[in-house]
Structure 1
Amino acid sequence: MNVPLLIARRYFLSKKKRNIISIISNISMVGVAVGTMALIIVLSVFNGLEDLVRSLYGKSDPDLVISAVKGKAFELQAPMLVQIRRTPGVGLVTEVIEDNALLQYRDRQMVVKMKGVSSNYYHQSNIDSAIVDGSHQLHRDGLDYALVGAGVQHELSITLDNRFAPMHLLYPRNTGRKTLSMNPETAFNEQNILAGGVFLIEQHIDDSYVFVPLQFAQDLLRYGNRRTALEIKAMPGRDIADVKKALKKQLGPGFKVLDSDEQHVSLLKAIKVEKMFVFITFAFILLIASINIFFSLSMLVIDKRKDMAVLMAMGASTRTIRNIFLLEGAIVAQVGAITGLVLGVGICWLQQTFHIVSMGMATSVVDSYPVKMQLSDVVLTGIAIIFITISVSIRPALNAANLDLRENL
């Protein structure tokens, strides 16, 4: 029989409505429960935001991207392309030319990210599912078409498939001089293209990107055989990490191969850092809420001095006395933590299932706050509560174990 646990449970379950110690213990449990619930909910929201970022960029992101370590472009020779296509696990290779360009439409203009892609791009990307107006095809009826982001279309008031008012794309001409010519005709390469479709993916992409055929970008930028990137789609069922490793071995140190997370490493790292700081902040809030456990145990030690003296006279060791109050603090924290976990998980489940709390923005790509529960968050929360409980309980427990037997009998 575990005597310390039995006595600790007895103290916890004793109901004395007018006992200030019981009131403080109940306040402690409520504080721990609310703090635990809030921590689970907030961490789950950060998990949901991380998944949302991946899903949004997944509409246009490839499985892997090959780019040069130095410089923004590299020479793509036929043997290199064949070598990449023959790499085990590589299903599709899309050639990409991407750079800033000046987009003019009627009397308006803005700098955009122009991305030229080869004809197999739609087998690589799901961007066709993000088209909200027009067609996703970049080449039809013998004409080249561009896909523009919803933000770009709104900024320039672009009309789709308007052959009387095409878009003008300009790129600085490489003349070998450090300064541009004052004559626009000699300072820029210029080509016209029709707007064929509008996509809606994510605000950063929607406000800056224009997709064009590879040959169009190649002619405008005068890139020849140079490419800024190669986008790789892995074969179904193949491990992307294995394909990445094989490509890095084939290409050598002059090239970098990035998976989906590495393509947006700054954004995902920012979310993880914010999540870590939120966890630390809420852990401190839990610590403050648990200070009531310290006060309730300290008062309980004073209230039960005679009981402890009797137990010590009957042969109880100082370790037994100490464990009684450690377990008393653990029970209070555990009840609060379990209640908070149940409430937190329940609220997250309701949000996932019924989408109760909306984003509150008409332009948002999702209707409600994304939530995703992870076992690791529950485990970390449990570890934090255990550490906090020991921290606030150990001092009253030591004080109880150091009681003078003669003074309290």
Structure 2
Amino acid sequence: MNVPLLIARRYFSSKKKRNIISIISNISMIGVAVGTMALIIVLSVFNGLEDLVRSLYSKSDPDLVISATKGKAFEVTAPLLTKLKATSGVSLVTEVIEDNALLQYHDRQMVVKMKGVSENFFAQSNIDSALVEGDHQLMRGGEPYALLGAGVQHELSIALNNRFSPLHLLYPRNTGKKALSLNPENAFNEQNIFAGGVFLIEQHIDDSYIFVPLEFAQSLLRYGNKRTSLEVRVGNGYSIADVKETLRSELGTSFQVLDSDEQHVSLLKAIKVEKMFVFITFAFILLIASLNIFFSLSMLVIDKRKDVAVLMAMGCTRVTIRNIFLYEGAIVALVGAVTGLVLGVTICWLQQTFGLVSMGMATSVVDSYPVKMQFLDIILTAIAIIVITITVSIRPALAASQQDLRENL
């Protein structure tokens, strides 16, 4: 029989406790419950946002991207493409030329991120599923067409398939001179292209990207055999991580091979850092709420001085007395934590199932706040509560075990 736990349970459920002690204990449980619930919900929201970012970019991101370690572009030769396509796990290789260009339409203009892609691009990208207007085909009847982000179309008020007003793209001409020519005809390469479709993926992409045929970008930028990247689709049944490591070993240090997370490492790292600081902040709030446990235990020690003296007279050691009050603090924290955990998980489940809380934006890609519960978050929350409970309970428990037997009998 665990005597300290038994006595602690009796103290916790005793109806003869002084009213103020009972009130403080209840406040402690409510504080721990609310803090635990809030921590579970907020961490789940960050998990949901992280998954949302991945799902949004998965519509346009390839499995792997190969780019030069140094410089903006690199030479792509037939032997290199043959080598890549022969690599185990590589299903498709798309050639890409990507750079900034000046887009003009009527009397409006803006700098866009122009991405020229080879014909097999849509065989590995799901961007065609994000189409909201027009067609995703970049070549029609031998003529090039551009696929625009919704933000670009809105900014320039572009009408699709307008053969009388094509898009006008300009790119600085590389003349080998440090100074740019003041004559516009000599300063820029210029080409026209028709607007064929509009996509809606994510604000950063929608507001800046246009997709064009590879040959069009190659001609405008005068890139020749140079490419800014090669996009790789991994075949079914193959691990992206394994194929990535294989390509890195075959290509050497002159190239870098990035998976989807590594392509957006800054954004995902920012979400993780924010999640960490939120965890620390709410853990601190839990600590503040748990200070009530310290006060309730301190008052309980004063109230139970005679009980402690009797127990010590009966042969209880100071360790046993200390454990009684440690268990008392643990019970208060446990009841609050379990209540908060159940409430937090229930609210997250309701949000996942029914989408109770809306994003509140008509243009949002999701109707409600995304949430995703992770077992690791629950474990970390439990560890935080255990550490906090021991921290606030140890002082009153030690004070109870150090009482003078003769003064309290």
Report if TM-score (shorter chain) is over 0.5: yes
- Corresponding residue for 1:338? 338
**Alpha carbons 1:16, 1:22 under 8 Å: kept:** no
Q: How many percent identity over aligned positions?
A: 81
Instruction: Confirm or deny that 1:221 pairs with 2:233.
Output: no
Distance 2:250 2:115 in 1: 26
**Alpha carbons 1:73, 1:229 under 8 Å: kept:** yes
**1:141 offset after TM fit, Å?**
1.9
- Corresponding residue for 1:232? 232
Instruction: Confirm or deny that 1:255 pairs with 2:255.
Output: yes
- Corresponding residue for 2:399? 399
Instruction: Confirm or deny that 1:136 pairs with 2:136.
Output: yes
Q: Report SS of the residue matched to 1:237.
A: coil
**1:142 offset after TM fit, Å?**
1.9
- Corresponding residue for 2:159? 159
Q: Report SS of the residue matched to 1:300.
A: helix
Instruction: Confirm or deny that 1:329 pairs with 2:329.
Output: yes
- Corresponding residue for 2:29? 29
Amino acid at match of 2:206: D
- Corresponding residue for 1:87? 87
- Corresponding residue for 1:46? 46
**1:180 offset after TM fit, Å?**
1.0
Instruction: Confirm or deny that 1:382 pairs with 2:399.
Output: no
**Alpha carbons 1:28, 1:293 under 8 Å: kept:** yes
Distance 1:244 1:396 in 2: 56
Instruction: Confirm or deny that 1:349 pairs with 2:349.
Output: yes
Distance 1:28 1:178 in 2: 70
**1:15 offset after TM fit, Å?**
2.1
Distance 2:131 2:377 in 1: 37
Distance 2:211 2:166 in 1: 15
Distance 2:306 2:340 in 1: 35
- Corresponding residue for 1:319? 319
Q: Report SS of the residue matched to 2:215.
A: helix
Amino acid at match of 2:397: A
**1:394 offset after TM fit, Å?**
0.2
Amino acid at match of 2:153: Q
Q: Report SS of the residue matched to 2:119.
A: coil
Distance 1:19 1:221 in 2: 80
Please give the per-residue CA displacement for 1:66-124, whole angstroms capped at 9, x wherever unaligned: 00000010001111111011111101000000000000001100000000000000111
Please give the per-residue CA displacement for 1:195-250, whole angstroms capped at 9, x wherever unaligned: 00000000000000000000000000000000000000000121100000000011
**1:178 offset after TM fit, Å?**
1.0
Amino acid at match of 2:178: K
**Alpha carbons 1:96, 1:116 under 8 Å: kept:** yes
**1:183 offset after TM fit, Å?**
0.8
Distance 1:385 1:322 in 2: 20
- Corresponding residue for 1:292? 292
**1:17 offset after TM fit, Å?**
7.5
Distance 1:367 1:164 in 2: 39
**1:54 offset after TM fit, Å?**
0.2
Large movers: runs of 4+ above 6 Å: none
Amino acid at match of 2:68: A
Q: Which runs of 5+ in 2 are unaligned?
A: none
Instruction: Confirm or deny that 1:303 pairs with 2:303.
Output: yes
Q: Report SS of the residue matched to 1:231.
A: strand
Distance 2:34 2:146 in 1: 52
Q: Report SS of the residue matched to 2:384.
A: helix
How many pairs were matched up? 409
- Corresponding residue for 1:127? 127
Q: Report SS of the residue matched to 1:115.
A: strand
**1:159 offset after TM fit, Å?**
0.5
Using structure 2 for the length normalisation, give the TM-score: 0.99
Distance 2:49 2:249 in 1: 34
Distance 2:302 2:9 in 1: 18
**Alpha carbons 1:150, 1:199 under 8 Å: kept:** yes
Amino acid at match of 1:202: E
Amino acid at match of 2:43: L
Instruction: Confirm or deny that 1:98 pairs with 2:108.
Output: no
Distance 1:122 1:149 in 2: 16
- Corresponding residue for 2:243? 243
- Corresponding residue for 1:363? 363
Amino acid at match of 1:179: A
Distance 1:322 1:144 in 2: 81
Distance 2:176 2:345 in 1: 63
More displaced, 16-25 or 118-127?
16-25
Distance 2:275 2:293 in 1: 27
Distance 2:16 2:255 in 1: 72
Q: Report SS of the residue matched to 1:120.
A: helix
Equivalent residue runs for 1:201-212 within 5 Å: 201-212=201-212
**1:18 offset after TM fit, Å?**
5.4
- Corresponding residue for 1:408? 408
Please give the per-residue CA displacement for 1:9-67, whole angstroms capped at 9, x wherever unaligned: 00001124852111100000000000000000000000000000000000000000000
Distance 1:347 1:127 in 2: 34
Q: Report SS of the residue matched to 1:163.
A: coil
Distance 1:237 1:106 in 2: 49
Amino acid at match of 2:302: I
Q: Which runs of 5+ in 1 are unaligned?
A: none
Q: Report SS of the residue matched to 2:336.
A: helix
Amino acid at match of 1:378: I
Distance 1:237 1:150 in 2: 35
Equivalent residue runs for 1:10-25 within 5 Å: 10-16=10-16, 19-25=19-25
**Alpha carbons 1:11, 1:328 under 8 Å: kept:** yes
- Corresponding residue for 2:282? 282
